[in-house]
Each structure stands twice: as structure tokens, then as C-alpha cells.
Amino acid sequence: MTSSGAQLRDWYTTPRWRAIRKQQLQREPLCAFCQAKGYVEVATVCDHIQPHRGDPIKFWRGPFQSLCQTCHSSDKQRIESGSVPRSTFTPDGRVVWD
């Protein structure tokens, strides 16, 4: 069962989500995409590696990764929409430059 857009937005404001986000960013304080490119950037976003698409189990359980806002708003969105990110990642996380 999936949830509505309004309910999903509400999940991001709950104490439970804030605790998940805080724990993730403490565990992995640097952006995973930037690190794969050889950069060091502080992460500010707890990202769902696999899109949850309203599935509450996937939303709350993850898996998660830490990203900076720039990577989350650019490469990650491109990947999820089926477009080509600015750089391509191999399955083990290495970067393949165009």
C-alpha cells in the first residue's frame, strides 16, 4: 500500500524521521556521491537509496545513504527519473566520467 503525497511530506517532519536522519548523517557524515568522485563534502540529506514510492516499509527502513544537497537535487534526481547523471557510477560506486 502506498501513501498520499501529503502523508509522505508529513513523514519527513516526524520525530521518528528526524532521528533516522540524524543517525544516518552521524554514521556517514560525508556525501557518498562526492566521495565516489574523489571530493570531500559534508552531507546534509538522508537519502533513500531505493525510491520508496510511498511504501511505508521502504520509507522507514531504507536503505539510506548520506548526500549533499547538490548531489541529491541533481545526480540523484536524474538517476531516479531515468536520465543520465552528470557522471555515471558502477555497481560498486566508482565513478565513470563521460
Give CA–CA dist 37/51, Å, rounded.
Answer: 22
- Domain locations in the chain? 5-96
Q: What is the pLDDT of residue 51?
A: 87
Mean pLDDT to the nearest integer, 21-47: 94
**pLDDT digits 0-9 by tens, 41-93:** 999 999 999 888 889 999 999 999 999 999 998 878 777 777 666 665 555 55
pTM of the model: 0.76
